[in-house]
Amino acid sequence: MKRSSSIVLVAVLIAFVAGWLTRAGSSSSVSATASSPLADAFYVTLAAFLTLAILSFLYKDNPYYKFAEHLFVGVSAAYWMSVGFWSTIVGNLFPRISSGLSAYFGVPFKDFTIYYFVPLVFGVLLLMRLSSKAGWLSRWSLAFIVGTTAGLNLVRYLRSDFITQVSNTFVPLLVNWRGSGAFFSDFSLSASGQFALSLSNWVIFLGVFCGLVYFFFSKEHKGFFGGASKMGIWILMITFGASFGYTVMGRISILVGRLTFLFHNWLGIID
């Protein structure tokens, strides 16, 4: 065993024993605890070790990261397969096609529904991939999945993205304007004032216009078109910048969550 591995092993063992003793001490003062201090200390130490193993990737690829990665991948793949089998096949399919299978797996039988055989057949066809001779049959299922969902999505996107986007650009460019000169009679620089609201609507209109020009692929971006396109990419980049900052803020809160786990739950050095 390498020296660094030994150091890590000893450090983890010390943390485990320290956690056990601390928990044992605190549980003696509190009359009832939900689980044993030994089990508590073991699970927290294991979780902390895996957290640190994953974070060690920030330094470089190493055996601890590899171990955590393989464990993570293996457990998650097995978990999803198990969830898929018990929720989709046992929970959904068997109660609709066979009382015997439902009884065997201990789920209540619902009404027999013949059209549940359609997904069953498609599912079996998909598994034909495992056969070198009948593998081509799986293409029927793939074509069905891709075709139906793409067709359904066309209408959904057209409604929720396209038409809603069009509708949202229908904004008055001069808010609360009631005739010549009326705009300036009620002028204010407050956030809810005429100027700010009108400016916001202008940004929406120009943003949509220039953004759409940027995403126009049938024409070279030259002249007026090029100018509008350049404006469009500026608007996009400002939007992305704001989105970046917002998301980074969220990521930092996740990091704080892991650090809180390490320092509070594991080491117990912060409250």
Partner 1 sequence: MKLKILIICSLLLPWLVPLANGQDSTGTTARPAQIAVQPPAPVGDLTARDSEDDNGHSISLSWSLSPDDAGGLKNVLGYKIFRAASKEGPFAERNVAASGINQYNDAGGSAEGDNDYMANNIDFYYKVQAITADSLVFADSPVFGPVQATGQWFNKARTTVLVFVICFMAVMLFFINKARSGADLFVRKLAGIEAVDEAIGRATEMGKPILYVLGLGTAADIATIASFTILGRVAKKVAEYQTRLIVPCNDPIVMSVAQETVRASYMDAGRPDAYKEDMVYFVTSLQFPYVAAVNGTMLRELPATNIYMGKFYAESLLLAETGALAGSIQIAGTDEIAQIPFFVVACDYTLIGEELYAASAYLGREPVLLGSLKAQDYAKAAVIVLSIIGIVAANVGWTRFVELFHITR
Residue 188: alpha-carbon gap to chain centroid: 42
Residue 35 or 76 with smaller CB distance to partner 1: 76
Block residue for tokens 């078109």: 225
| Dihedrals phi, psi of 132, to nearest 5 degrees | -70, -30
Is residue 81 classed as helix, strand or coil in its secondary structure? helix
Q: Least CB distance from residue 23 to partner 1, whole Å?
A: 29
Count of residues engaged in binding partner 1, rule: CB under 8 A: 67
Which of 77, 118 has the CB closer to partner 1?
A: 77
Task: Indicate the residue among 30 and 223 with the shorter CB distance to partner 1.
Answer: 223
Q: Return left, alpha or beta for 179; rule: phi > 0 is left, psi -120 to 50 is alpha, else beta.
A: left
CB of 10 to partner 1, least distance (A): 26
Which position among 73, 118, 134, 199 is part of the footprint of partner 1 (CB under 8 A)?
73
Amino acid at 181: G
Q: Show the tokens assigned to 243.
A: 């989105």
Please report, as a single letter, which amino acid is at residue 204.
Answer: I
Q: Which stretch binds partner 1 (CB under 8 A): 18-26, 29-37, 39-47, 158-166?
A: 158-166
Least distance (Å) between residue 244 CB and partner 1: 4
Residue 247 found at the interface with partner 1 (CB under 8 A): yes
The number of residues in the chain equals: 271
Interface with partner 1 by CB under 8 A: which range of 14-22, 23-31, 37-45, 72-80? Answer: 72-80
| String marking each residue 195-224 x if it binds partner 1 according to CB under 8 A | ----------x--xx--xx-xxxxxxx---
CB 213 within 8 A of CB 225: yes
Please classify residue 48 by burial: count the beta carbons closer than 10 Å to its beta carbon, then call 0-12 exposed, 13-18 middle and 19+ buried.
Answer: buried
**Cβ atoms of residues 266 and 44 within 8 Å:** yes
- What residues numbered 8-27 form the site for partner 1, per CB under 8 A? none
Residue 216 CB contacts under 8 Å (≥ 6 apart), including other chains: 225, 229
131 binds partner 1 (CB under 8 A): no
Binding residues for partner 1, rule: CB under 8 A, are 54, 57, 60-61, 65-66, 68-69, 72-73, 75-77, 79-80, 110-111, 126, 129, 138-139, 142, 145-146, 148-150, 153-155, 157-159, 162-167, 169-174, 177, 205, 208-209, 212-213, 215-221, 236-237, 239-241, 243-244, 247, 251
